[in-house]
Structure formats: C-alpha cells, structure tokens
Amino acid sequence: MNAQEFRQRAHQLVEWMADYLENVEQYPVKSPVKPRQILASLPAKPPHDPEHFDLIFSDFQEKIMPGITHWQHPAFFAYFPANSSFPSILAEMLTATLASQCMIWETSPAAAELEEQMMEWLRQMMNIPDDWVGVIQDTASTATLCAILTAREKLSNYQINEQGFANQAFTVYCSTQTHSSIDKAVKIAGLGKQNLRKIAVDERFAMLPEALETTIQTDIAEGKRPLCVVAAIGTTSSTAIDPLRQIGEICQKYGVFLHVDGAYAGTAAILPEKRWILDGLELADSYVFNPHKWMLTNFDCTAYYVKDKEALIRTFEILPEYLKTKNDNQVNNYRDWGVQLGRRFRALKLWFVIRTYGVAGIQAKIRLHLDLAQLFKQKLEAHPDFEILAPVDFNLICFRYKPLIINDLEQINQLNTQLLDKINQSGKAYLTHTKLNDVYTLRLVIGQTQVESRHVEAVWDLILEKVEELN
Ligand SMILES: *Cc1c(COP(=O)(O)O)cnc(C)c1O
C-alpha cells in the first residue's frame, strides 16, 4: 500500500467509522456468535500472495463484525464501560500514525512532557493531593502490581530486588469484594496467595476497619510483616466504598503501604459533590483510576498516582548503557515508572478529550450518568417485585427480580439467571451479574458516552417484558 492508496482507504474507513457510531444501535449489543464460529470462518493458512484491500475490508465487515460485542452501544450496561469519544478516537488515529515508541524522554520529548502535564491536569481535576505525581499505565491491574512491588521494595529496603526472598513473610490485605487484579499482583510479586488476607465487609460491602486492624495485629504477633493494604473506591461487584480515612490511619499506625483502587468509580471525583469519595487519600501511598473506563478515553489509559516518586522509580529503574542520556536528571523517563519498557503515546487522547469537552463537559456527562442511575433506581423502588441489593453511590445498580410469592433463594437465583439470558439474547441491551452474599445479582451500569434517558426507559421496559415471558 502506498501513501496515495492509504489516503483513499483512510477516507473510506473514516466514513465507515462515523456511520458505525451513528448507527451502532442497530447492532445486537452482545455478539450472538457461538464459540469458535469466527475461527472456523478464517483461512487456516496465511496468504502467500498480497490480497486486495477491498477483500480484506469486506471480510472485516462480514466475518469480524458479527463477532464484535458493541461496547459503544448506548444500551451496553454490562461490566463497567470502556467508553470512548470522537476526540479520543481522532487522537488514537494520530498516535497510530506517529507510531512513536515513548519509552524515554529522548524517544519523543513531547510524549513525555504531555504525559507529565496531563497527569498534572487530571490531578487537579480529581483533587488528588498536590505533591503526588502521576504516570500513565496500560491498565489498573498493572498499576496495582506496581504498587505492591513498590511496597515490597520500600518495606524491604529494596532488598528483594537485589537478593530475592529470604525468609520474609509479607502479608497483603484487601476486602472480600476487591478486584481479582490484587490476587494476580500478589502472585506475580512472589508474595504467595496464602499471604493475601481478605477482610470482611459491612452491609454496604465496605471493608470493616476493625477487622483489618485485628488481622494486622494477629499477623504481627505471628511474625509476619504486613506490607500493603489495597482499599477500593468503587468495588467491581457493587461499587462499594472502603472507609479510606480509617484504613489510612491504621496503615500509618502499623507502617503499612496503602494503595487505593478507584479504577472505575474514581472518575466521579471530578464532581465537587463527589469529592468526598477520596477523603483521606492523603494518608495513602498510591492511587489508580481508569480514564479508559468512564472518562471518554479509549482503552488503554490508566492514571496511576504516587506520593513517593523515588520509591516507584527505585523499584523499577534499570539503566543499561544504551538507554543513558544526558538529560536524565531533568526529564521523566517513564520506562522506570512501571513494568514495560516500550510505551504508546497515550497522553495525546487525554489532551484531546479534556480540551474538547472541557472539565465542565466531562462533569456534565458524569452527572448525567449519576442522574440516570437514580432514575433507574426509582423505577425499581416503585415496583413491588424488584429488590435493590447494594447502595447506589455511583451509576451501577445491583438488583434482582424477586416476586413477593417466591422465597426460596435457589429458585430466585435461577429466575434471575434466566432473566439475564433473555435480556442479553434479545440483543437490545447487555447486562452482567455478580453474587452478593450468595444472592445472584443483576448489575446495570449506566456509563456510555451516548446513553440518554430513553435508553434507560427502554431497558426497564425490556426487563418487564422479559419478566412477563418468564411467568
Ligand atoms: C476494572 C477494575 C480493575 C481492573 O482494571 P484494568 O484496567 O482492566 O486492569 C481493577 N479494580 C477495579 C475496582 C476495577 O473495577
């Protein structure tokens, strides 16, 4: 392909992209394909001879699109969103075109300095403490791994990096509701899953600080070294909020590293009326939230903030001869701020998004989502056969269908499993589930870029229609 053909194809694809996003509601939200159906449609061998772009693009439309779940569909209410926006997509086009490898400052000074400034803008927007600094990571899972590794190094005086483990018995703490990325990070960091303590939660699914403290004391008494607590601001199951200030005070008392996981709900801190969710953050050591979930920015873009930049860098620093430059003291070389060496230019899409919407525009979106969640909640409250199963502090509603006449837990769980299948098979909306105290729970998250009240009305009608069919 030469530049002239590229130009022509690029225009063609942009037309397709705009059509797709304008008409995304025509697609079934959740892909209906069967396992390995797409694979069966793909040639077993790579092409020996060049193929024509028309053929490649028509195969994309015919073979690939049916196997796509439409995350940008306004009726995508599943998991947490990975929403995007027009300015973000445009920036991704430029990033792909530049295709710069932004591992150190010299390999693209603008990428490093724009990243530094975007992390500073976001810090101000979210009211993160003044003296913290941020770095973009690929995912929250990676950021949490960085936090646990930093805790390991800082509390071992950087000895594990040097000598490996001797007889240290470190322990890590999170609530029973915390995301699986903590289990994964504990495994990767070599700490051992049996040293991860899952602390009990209250009726709002928030960590019980008293239980945390007792567990830490027991571990100390048994000769363990409490290393790190991971507190969640918005758990994945139900967006529960752990009591940050109380947990922070406990961590300070016992010299434990505190990492705060606000991967999804952290974006809400852009609203003055939601700032309280980060109350006590100054007592923590690091914080993560994902602009790639709820802040209109294409995956991947995770904002990771630390109080002690030196500790982070000391944990990850490498300095082989071929990476040394004369500017190392004046600039940020982000290869030393995390796991990967090579890095995409991810700050550009944040710059485009924040400037296009303005802080006020992003706030308006987030506020709309929170209001729509209240609208849906009111519908549930007004109906005798539905039950809300967790506080609605953000835009996730945890609920179930529970007809008054049925009381058997298994039977109700079964009904809700069937209800979810029926909703998702309709192609008109996509919801997922979780379990809260053994109760099969439907999760509905209202965080799409283009979601409006009519979509919330429609999903409610759909749920009622499917309930009718069940009976
Ligand atoms: C989504 C989520 C994660 C993981 O995010 P990735 O960026 O996909 O790694 C971690 N913690 C919480 C609370 C989440 O909701």
pLDDT tens digits for range 425-444: 999 999 999 999 999 999 99
pLDDT at residue 325 greater than cutoff 80: no
The CA 262 to ligand 1 mean position distance, Å, reads 8
The conformation of residue 120, written as its DSSP 8-state character, comes to H
Q: Supply the pLDDT for residue 307.
A: 98
Q: Is 236 close to ligand 1, i.e. is its CB under 6 Å away?
A: yes
- Give the whole-angstrom CA distance, residue 5 versus residue 74: 34
In this structure, what token pair is assigned to residue 310?
Answer: 């030196």
Q: What is the mean pLDDT of residues 260-278?
A: 98
The CA 470 to ligand 1 mean position distance, Å, reads 34
For ligand 1, mutation pick of 230, 264, 304 (most atoms within 8 Å of CB): 264
Beta strands in 176-224 (DSSP E): 196-199
Mean pLDDT for the chain overall: 96
Q: How confident is the model at residue 324 (pLDDT cuts 50, 70, 90)?
A: confident
Q: How confident is the model at residue 326 (pLDDT cuts 50, 70, 90)?
A: confident
Q: What is the mean pLDDT of residues 399-405?
A: 95
Q: Is 232 close to ligand 1, i.e. is its CB under 6 Å away?
A: yes
Q: Supply the pLDDT for residue 327.
A: 74
Q: What is the mean pLDDT of residues 199-208?
A: 98
Q: Supply the pLDDT for residue 370.
A: 98
Atom of ligand 1 nearest to the CA of 236: 15
Q: Supply the pLDDT for residue 359.
A: 98
Domain range 101-344, CATH class = alpha beta
Q: Supply the pLDDT for residue 416.
A: 98
The CA 293 to ligand 1 mean position distance, Å, reads 9
The CA 141 to ligand 1 mean position distance, Å, reads 6
> Which strands make up the sheet holding 286-289, listed edge to edge?
133-137, 302-306, 286-289, 257-261, 225-232, 170-175, 196-199
Q: Is 179 close to ligand 1, i.e. is its CB under 6 Å away?
A: yes
Q: Is 302 close to ligand 1, i.e. is its CB under 6 Å away?
A: yes
The CA 301 to ligand 1 mean position distance, Å, reads 12
Q: Would residue 72 be called left, alpha or beta, if left means φ above 0 and alpha means ψ between -120 and 50 degrees? A: alpha
Q: What is the mean pLDDT of residues 301-321?
A: 92
Beta strands in 120-235 (DSSP E): 133-137, 170-175, 196-199, 225-232
Can you tell me whether residue 193 is helix, strand or coil? helix
List beta partners, residue 396. Answer: 445
The CA 340 to ligand 1 mean position distance, Å, reads 18
Q: Is 242 close to ligand 1, i.e. is its CB under 6 Å away?
A: no
The rounded percent of the chain whose pLDDT value lies above 70 is 100
pLDDT digits 0-9 by tens, 50-70: 999 999 999 999 999 999 999
User: Which amino acid, one-letter code, is at 217?
Assistant: Q
pLDDT at residue 328 greater than cutoff 80: no
- Please give the backbone phi and psi of residue 331, each rounded to the nearest 5 degrees, phi first: -130, 165
Which of 74, 29, 77 lies closest to 399, judged by CA? Answer: 77
Q: Are 172 and 183 in contact (CB under 8 A)?
A: no
Atom of ligand 1 nearest to the CA of 142: 9
The CA 245 to ligand 1 mean position distance, Å, reads 22
Q: How confident is the model at residue 418 (pLDDT cuts 50, 70, 90)?
A: very high
Listed in sequence order, the DSSP H helices in 226-346 are: 244-254, 291-294, 309-316
pLDDT at residue 90 greater than cutoff 80: yes
Q: How many CA atoms lie within 13 A of 32 on its CB side?
A: 11
- Give the whole-angstrom CA distance, residue 254 versus residue 214: 12
Q: How confident is the model at residue 318 (pLDDT cuts 50, 70, 90)?
A: confident
Atom of ligand 1 nearest to the CA of 302: 7
For 319-339, b/e burial (b = at least 16 CB within 10 A) is eeeebeeeeeeeebbbbbbbe
pTM: 0.96
User: Which amino acid, one-letter code, is at 415?
Assistant: L
For ligand 1, mutation pick of 138, 176, 236, 295 (most atoms within 8 Å of CB): 236
pLDDT digits 0-9 by tens, 7-41: 999 999 999 999 999 999 999 999 999 999 999 99
pLDDT at residue 396 greater than cutoff 80: yes
Q: Are 172 and 191 in contact (CB under 8 A)?
A: yes
pLDDT at residue 312 greater than cutoff 80: yes
Q: How many CA atoms lie within 13 A of 443 on its CB side?
A: 20
Neighbours of 201 (CB within 10 A): 21
Q: Supply the pLDDT for residue 464.
A: 98
Q: How confident is the model at residue 129 (pLDDT cuts 50, 70, 90)?
A: very high
Can you tell me whether residue 172 is helix, strand or coil? strand
Q: Supply the pLDDT for residue 321.
A: 72
List beta partners, residue 35. Answer: none
The CA 436 to ligand 1 mean position distance, Å, reads 18
Close Cβ partners of 361 (under 8 Å, ≥ 6 residues apart): none
Q: Supply the pLDDT for residue 339.
A: 95
Close Cβ partners of 445 (under 8 Å, ≥ 6 residues apart): 77, 78, 79, 80, 81, 395, 396, 397
